Amino acid sequence: KTIYVLNGPNLNLLGKRQPEIYGHETLQDVAALCEAVAGDGFEIRLLQSNHEGQIIDWIHEARETSCGIVINPGAFTHTSIAILDALNAYDPPVIEVHISQVHKREAFRHHSYVSLRADGVIAGLGLEGYAAAVRRICQLARQAG
Ligand code: DQA
């Protein structure tokens, strides 16, 4: 069973980008963490794109092959009805992750289109948010059988 871990714009710069907000760890560290916490029989497919359409294509691809999506949509969180629509066409569990505590930041980060679909939302736990999200997807997938 495959878990998609999708990352939106600017997250390729994780570790270098505003480290006072996002920390010094990289997307490679996120991949290692997700793989470490994924249960037996679960595979992690971690992807990042700066392009909205690419993220939508990956959500469509995930429809065929996956048991859940962990998504940090970056700034598309606050703008993308198209990503929301793609997730609404996806049946297994979806967990939304933000590294930073978005509700403590600018008002434009307080609204999320993706939260209208997400089964869980995590913000402000740093990379630990991804680990918790992967654990939860594994748990829900086992329950679903
Ligand atoms: C983010 C929060 C967003 O507001 C921001 O645009 C990001 C990263 C986070 O992980 O905290 O790119 O999703």
CA 77 to ligand 1 centroid distance, Å: 8
Q: Work out the average pLDDT over 4-20.
A: 97
Q: Can you give the pLDDT at residue 133?
A: 98
Domains recognised in the chain with CATH numbers: 2-144 (3.40.50.9100)
Q: Mean pLDDT score of the chain, rounded to an integer?
A: 97
Which residues sit in the known binding site?
72, 78, 85, 99-100, 109
Residue 92 near residue 118 (C-beta atoms within 8 A): no
Torsion of CA 54, 91, 40, 8, to 10 degrees: 30
CB atoms within 10 A of CB 102: 18
Q: Can you give the pLDDT at residue 86?
A: 98
Active site residues: 22, 98
Token readout for 7 is: 């990352």
Token readout for 70 is: 């962990």
Contacts of residue 69, defined as CB under 8 A and 6 or more positions apart, other chains included, come to 3, 4, 5, 6, 59, 62, 87, 90, 92, 93, 94, 95, 137
What pLDDT, in 10s, does the model give residues 64-107?
Answer: 999 999 999 999 999 999 999 999 999 999 999 999 999 999 99
Which residues sit in the known binding site for substrate?
72, 78, 85, 99-100, 109
Respond yes or no on whether ipTM tops 0.95.
yes
Residue 54 binned pLDDT confidence (cut-offs 50, 70, 90): very high
Strand partners, 72: 7
CA 78 to ligand 1 centroid distance, Å: 9
Best substitution site from 20, 77, 108 to test ligand 1's pocket, by max atoms within 8 Å of Cβ?
A: 77
Say yes or no to pLDDT of 26 above 90: yes
Q: Can you give the pLDDT at residue 39?
A: 84
CA 109 to ligand 1 centroid distance, Å: 8
Nearest CA to ligand 1 atom 9: 98
For the Cβ of 133 lying below 6 angstroms from any atom of ligand 1, the answer is no
Contacts of residue 115, defined as CB under 8 A and 6 or more positions apart, other chains included, come to 96, 121
Predicted TM-score (pTM) of the model is 0.97
Where do the DSSP E strands lie in 18-60?
A: 43-48
Rounded CA-CA distance 19/78 in Å is: 21
